[in-house]
Structure 1
Amino acid sequence: MRRIWAALTTTALTAAALTGCGLGSDDGKNSDSVASAAATGEVKGKVSLQTWALKPKFTDYMQGVIDGFKKKYPGVEVDWLDQPGDGYSNKVLSQASAGDLPDVVNLPPDFALPLAKKDLLLDVSKADPKLADEYVAGGVDAYRFAGQDGVYGYPWYLNTDVNYWSSDLLTQSGLDPKKLPAGLDDLIAQARVVKEKSGGKTYLMSRKPGIGDLYNAGVKILADDGKSFTFNTPEAAALLDRYRDAFKEGLLPNDVLTNTYAGNSKLFNSGTAAWTTAGANYITSLATDNPTLAPKVVPSAAFNTPPLYVQGVSIPKSTKNPAAAVALARWVTNAENQAALAHLTSVFPSTKASANDPFFSRSDGTNAGDAKVIAFTSLAKAKLIQPVVIDDAMSTVINQQIALAISGQASSKQALDSAVQQCDKLLKG
C-alpha cells in the first residue's frame, strides 16, 4: 500500500520510543503564538532543510528549488541536509531527543504524530492562515491528529490507489469490462461469475478486507481523543461476515489467509486474478513485468473514499528562524515546485492550484494516462483512512484477527473485539 518510493516509506516512529529516549515536551518558551507571530516577520538569515533519501537522484531538482528560494529572498542561506532512506526514523528520533531538528524537516504523518504529541512541532495552521485554502483537504487533514489541536505539517507530494481490471479475464467470464463493479455487492456478484466460468481457476476477489474496507463501510476506527480503537461495531462484523461467506463459497484463493499468500497484485500480474489495486503508475511498471497484459488493463476509481499516501514537511517549534522556515516550507510545497517533482517521478502535488495543470488532468489516451488522471482526480476526496497510530504490531494483530473471522475460526464480533482489545493495549504502551 506504500507506493510512492523510498522517500514515502512510513516506518513508525512511536511515541513510546520517543518517551523511552527521554524526549521531553516543549518548555513553553517557544509557544505556538510566539512562533506564529514571528513567522510573519522578514525572511532572512540561515534556515535548514532536511529531506529523506532524495540524493543523488533528485539532487539537481532540490538544488534548483533551493536556488529559486534564495533568488526570491536574497541574503537567505539554506543548509540542505538529506538523510539516507534506511534508519531515517532513528535519525529523526536522535535529532528530536537532542533538540537538533532542522528548521524544516521532511516528516510523513506517522513521524510527525509523536513529535506533535510532545508539543515539539509548530501548528502551521496558526502560522499560515492560507494553509487550508491552498492545499487539498486530505493532505492538510493528514497532519491533524486525534486528541491534538492544530495542523503539524505541510502536505508535500501525494499518491493514491486505483482499481485495475483485466479485460481479458472479465470477457472470458462473459462480463463486460465497461460495466465494472461499483462496490462490494457488484464485486461479490461478478466474483461468483468468474469462479463459475473458470471452474475456480481464476478469481475476481483476491484479498481479505482491512482497515480501509472497514472505514469505507462507515466504521469509525479511532476515538476522537485518539486514546482507543472503535472498529468492533456491528457494521464491521457484518462486513467480515460477507467476506467469510465469500471465502467459504470459494470466491477468494484458499491461501489468502496464510503466510504463503502472494498478494493480489502478483496474482493479477500472473493472470490468476482479474482485479487489483495499485498506484497511478502501475500500468507503466506492468508493461515491463507483463507486456502482454498491460494494454488490456482497465483502470477505474477506487471504491468509496480513496486512500491517501502523504509525504510532508514540518517545522519544529524550536526553530530560531520561523519566518524563513514557514517561507521555505511553502516554497518547497508550492504548485510549481511540486509539479516539477511530479514530472520526474510518479507522485502528485498537494496544492489545489494543480487541479488546472493539464499534465495531471488530461490523459494521453492510453490506459496508463487514464489511470493517472483517475488517481489525480481522486485526490480531491482521498483521505488518510488508516490512522497513523496503527503501527506494524497493530497491523499484525488486526490482520490475524480478520483472518480468524474470515476462516470461521472465530466469530466476526469476537475477532474484532480481540483486535480492539490488543490494539488498545499496544496504543497505551
Structure 2
Amino acid sequence: MPPSRRAAAVTAPLLVSALLLSACGSGGDDPGGGADGRAKGSITFQTWNLRGKFKDYFDGLVRDFENEHPDVDVKWLDQPAENYADKLSADAAAGTLPDVVNVSPDLSYPLAKAGMLLNLDRTPAAAKFKGEYTAEAWQGNTLPGLDGSYAFPWYLNTGPLFYNKALFRQSGLDPEKPPKTYDELFAAARTMAEKSGGKTATLAGTPAVEDFGRYGVRLMNEDATRFTYNEPKGVELLTRYKELHDRGGLDPQALTNTPEKAGQRFLEQKVAMNPGGANDLGTFRKSAPGLYRNLGITDAPNNNGKPNMYVMGLGVNSRSKHKAAAIAFAHFVTDRKHQEAFAHKVAVFPSTKGSLEDPYWTKDDGTDEGRVRVASAKMLKGAVNYTPVVMSDEMKVVLKNEVAKALQGKKSPQRALDDAVARSDKLLAQSRQP
C-alpha cells in the first residue's frame, strides 16, 4: 500500500482465533495443496489499494506467472485502504481469506495468532528463499511470540528528514552537519531557540512511539504482552522534550499539529526540521524557493544507528488448498526482478539483497524524486520497524494524549507514561480475549 497512511491493525481480527483454530485441517485433498507439492490449482491474490494506479503492472505480473506455471490460475483482487483490516477479519472468520494476501506486520500479527498464515521459517518450500531478502526485511515480518516470519518481504519505505540550512546557519550551527543523535538534536534545538529569541523552533511535533524506539527505549517485553516505554530511559526522553517545549524548541502548535500542519509550518520556515517526501520538494520549489535552495536532507536522529522503516509483505493462507502455488506466486511477486520493477513505478524500495546497490538507488539523477530516493535508500541499511506490531491506533492516541499532558505540565513525565502504559496494557489484554 504505497500511500503514506498505513492502516493499523484493529482488535477485530483477534476474534477470528476462536472461530478458526478449531476449523478443518490445512490444505485439502488436492495433491498440489501441500506446501512442498507441485504448483497447481486456482489461487486468489489480494492487494491493498493498488488497482487504481498499477492495474497494468499487476495484470502483466499475473500473466507472466501463469505463463511460467501453466497449471496455476491466479485471480487478482484489490481492496480499498478504508477498513482493510476489517475486511481481512471478515474474510478470515468466513474462511475466505485469499491464498496470497498483502499485509503489513500489524495486520499479519492477528491473522498469524489465529493460525491463518504460514510460518515461512517452518515451511521448507518458503524458507529456502529467505536468503534472497535482506535480513532487516525478513526480520521485519517476524512476529513477537510466534517464532517466525509470516510474510514474504515485499517493499520497504522510509522517510527522510528535511532541514532548513538557512535557519541552521542563522543560529551559528553548521548546516552541513545536521544532528544525528538525540543529544545533538536537543543541543541544536536549544541553540536555535536562544539565538532566535524563541521565534524559531526546531521541531513541529511531539514524540511518537518511533521516537522512543530511536532513543533506545525498550518499548515492550519480549513476548509483546506488556508495554515498557515508561522505563527510566523513556521518562528521560519525555523530560527532555518537556524542557525543549518550555524553551521554545518545539513549535507552539506542536501539541495539536497534524502532519499536514507540521509540513505547513516547515514550509513557512517557522520550524527547522520536519519529515517529508519527494512530492514536498516540488511544493517547496514552487511556493518557497528560498527554502528549496537551502534544503538539507538527512535521516531522523537516533541513538541506535538504525533508522525507522515501514515493511510490507505477502502472507500465504495456511489453509489454502493450493499452498505450493500460493508460495510460488508470493515468491514470484517479491523476487528481485519484480520488486525492482515495481519500485521503479512507485516511490518504494525493494527488500531483496543487492537491489539498493543499483545506480537507480545510489546515484542522484538531478530530479527531485532522485534526490529523495537516493537519500532515503541510504537510510534503509540496518533500518528497523520501531512501531510494535500490537500497537493499535487507539494505543498510539493514548500515548500522544499523555505526552501532551506532560508537555503542558499537567502530569509529570513519569506519571504520564505510567498512565499511557497502563491504559495500553488494558487495551492489549482486551484485544486478546476471544
TM-score under structure 2 length normalisation: 0.90
Give the corresponding residue for 1:165: 163
Give the corresponding residue for 1:80: 76
Match of 2:115 among 102, 116, 119: 119
Q: Please say if residues 159 and 279 of structure 1, whose CA atoms lie closer than 8 Å, have aligned partners that are also in contact.
A: no
Measure, in 2, the Cα distance between the counterparts of 1:133 and 1:369. 28
Deviates most, 221-230 or 192-201: 192-201
Measure, in 1, the Cα distance between the counterparts of 2:368 and 2:12. 45
Task: Give the Å deviation of 1:398.
Answer: 0.5
Give the corresponding residue for 1:63: 59
CA 20–135 in structure 1, closer or farther in 2 if over 3 Å, else same:
closer
Q: Please say if residues 125 and 131 of structure 1, whose CA atoms lie closer than 8 Å, have aligned partners that are also in contact.
A: no
Give the corresponding residue for 1:323: 324
Measure, in 2, the Cα distance between the counterparts of 1:131 and 1:346. 25
Deviates most, 317-326 or 239-248: 239-248
Q: Does 1:93 align with 2:89?
A: yes
- 1:367-386 paired onto structure 2 within 5 Å: 369-386=370-387
Give the corresponding residue for 2:98: 102
- Structure 1, unaligned stretches of length 5 or more? none
Q: Does 1:49 align with 2:45?
A: yes
Give the corresponding residue for 1:147: 145
- Structure 2, unaligned stretches of length 5 or more? none
CA 234–85 in structure 1, closer or farther in 2 if over 3 Å, else same:
closer
- Structure 2 residue matching 1:46: 3-state secondary structure: strand
Give the corresponding residue for 2:6: 10
Task: Give the Å deviation of 1:285.
Answer: 5.3
CA 177–369 in structure 1, closer or farther in 2 if over 3 Å, else same:
farther
- 1:22-421 paired onto structure 2 within 5 Å: 23-25=19-21, 27=23, 29-30=25-26, 38-127=34-123, 128-258=126-256, 263-279=261-277, 282-284=280-282, 286-287=284-285, 290-304=288-302, 305-365=306-366, 369-421=370-422
- Structure 2 residue matching 1:344: 3-state secondary structure: coil
CA 413–372 in structure 1, closer or farther in 2 if over 3 Å, else same:
same
Q: Please say if residues 269 and 286 of structure 1, whose CA atoms lie closer than 8 Å, have aligned partners that are also in contact.
A: yes
Measure, in 2, the Cα distance between the counterparts of 1:186 and 1:374. 20
CA 21–141 in structure 1, closer or farther in 2 if over 3 Å, else same:
closer
Measure, in 1, the Cα distance between the counterparts of 2:41 and 2:32. 18
Task: Give the Å deviation of 1:19.
Answer: 1.3
One-letter identity of the residue aligned with 1:141: Q
CA 125–131 in structure 1, closer or farther in 2 if over 3 Å, else same:
farther
Q: Please say if residues 203 and 273 of structure 2, whose CA atoms lie closer than 8 Å, have aligned partners that are also in contact.
A: yes
Q: Please say if residues 162 and 280 of structure 1, whose CA atoms lie closer than 8 Å, have aligned partners that are also in contact.
A: no
Task: Give the Å deviation of 1:425.
Answer: 0.3
Q: Please say if residues 284 and 368 of structure 1, whose CA atoms lie closer than 8 Å, have aligned partners that are also in contact.
A: no
Measure, in 2, the Cα distance between the counterparts of 1:299 and 1:428. 41
Task: Give the Å deviation of 1:329.
Answer: 0.3
Task: Give the Å deviation of 1:75.
Answer: 3.2
Q: Please say if residues 167 and 297 of structure 1, whose CA atoms lie closer than 8 Å, have aligned partners that are also in contact.
A: yes
Task: Give the Å deviation of 1:179.
Answer: 2.0
CA 260–96 in structure 1, closer or farther in 2 if over 3 Å, else same:
closer
- Structure 2 residue matching 1:352: 3-state secondary structure: coil
One-letter identity of the residue aligned with 1:117: K
Measure, in 1, the Cα distance between the counterparts of 2:378 and 2:311. 16
Task: Give the Å deviation of 1:165.
Answer: 1.0
TM-align CA RMSD: 2.6
Measure, in 2, the Cα distance between the counterparts of 1:58 and 1:66. 12
Task: Give the Å deviation of 1:249.
Answer: 1.5
Report percent identity of matched pairs. Answer: 38
CA 42–315 in structure 1, closer or farther in 2 if over 3 Å, else same:
same
Measure, in 2, the Cα distance between the counterparts of 1:240 and 1:49. 44
One-letter identity of the residue aligned with 1:65: L
Task: Give the Å deviation of 1:198.
Answer: 2.6
Q: Please say if residues 182 and 215 of structure 2, whose CA atoms lie closer than 8 Å, have aligned partners that are also in contact.
A: no
Measure, in 1, the Cα distance between the counterparts of 2:107 and 2:276. 24
Query: Residue deviations 1:102-154, cap 9 Å, x none?
Result: 11011111111111111111111222223432212232222222221221111
- Structure 2 residue matching 1:256: 3-state secondary structure: coil
CA 18–377 in structure 1, closer or farther in 2 if over 3 Å, else same:
same
TM-score under structure 1 length normalisation: 0.91
CA 194–366 in structure 1, closer or farther in 2 if over 3 Å, else same:
farther
Measure, in 1, the Cα distance between the counterparts of 2:176 and 2:213. 27
Query: Residue deviations 1:220-249, cap 9 Å, x none?
Result: 111111111111111111111111111111
Measure, in 2, the Cα distance between the counterparts of 1:231 and 1:102. 36
Task: Give the Å deviation of 1:415.
Answer: 1.1
CA 96–357 in structure 1, closer or farther in 2 if over 3 Å, else same:
same
One-letter identity of the residue aligned with 2:357: N
Deviates most, 98-107 or 406-415: 406-415
Q: Please say if residues 34 and 321 of structure 2, whose CA atoms lie closer than 8 Å, have aligned partners that are also in contact.
A: no
Measure, in 1, the Cα distance between the counterparts of 2:325 and 2:91. 20
Query: Residue deviations 1:333-377, cap 9 Å, x none?
Result: 111111111111111111113133211122225675343222112
